[in-house]
Amino acid sequence: MEINTKYKEVDREPFNDPTLYRKLVGSLVYLTMTRPNISYAVQVLSQFVVNPYRIHHTALLRVIRYVRGSMIQGVLFRSDSSIHLEGYIDADWAGCPNSRRSVTEAEYRAISAASSEIVCL
């Protein structure tokens, strides 16, 4: 998603195929189970499934391009190196521009996924 862009419920031009938007967002929601790094973007875009606008669809396509471009990336742990794991969490206080509420769903899911990964490692 673009940095410092605030997505609103009503924007300039409505998207002409809301069903396609819903299907794509639904697919990305399913994908967040294995890709928690896109959870925040998907959570923001899922707020507009009832009435998507062109700017929301453009942001959705950016997320899909990011997923396509990062499919082969991963983390390599060598067997001869010592592993020191650290976890960081970013808090979002009153980040929703429409309701001024905190966006916590993506953070909780990311914490859960990171904790599970650390326990497995």
Structurally, how many domains does the chain consist of?
1
In a domain, 26, yes or no: yes
In a domain, 4, yes or no: no
Question: By CB neighbour count within 10 A (0-12 exposed, 13-18 middle, 19+ buried), where does 108 fall?
Answer: exposed
Q: Output Rg (C-alpha) for the chain, integer angstroms.
A: 17
In a domain, 46, yes or no: yes
Range of the domain at 33: 18-120
Is the pTM higher than 0.85? The answer reads: no
In a domain, 10, yes or no: no
Condensed to tens digits (0 to 9), the pLDDT of residues 32-51 reads 888 888 988 999 999 999 99
In a domain, 12, yes or no: no
Condensed to tens digits (0 to 9), the pLDDT of residues 43-74 reads 999 999 999 999 899 999 999 999 999 888 76
Residues 6+ apart with CB under 8 A from 33: none
In a domain, 9, yes or no: no
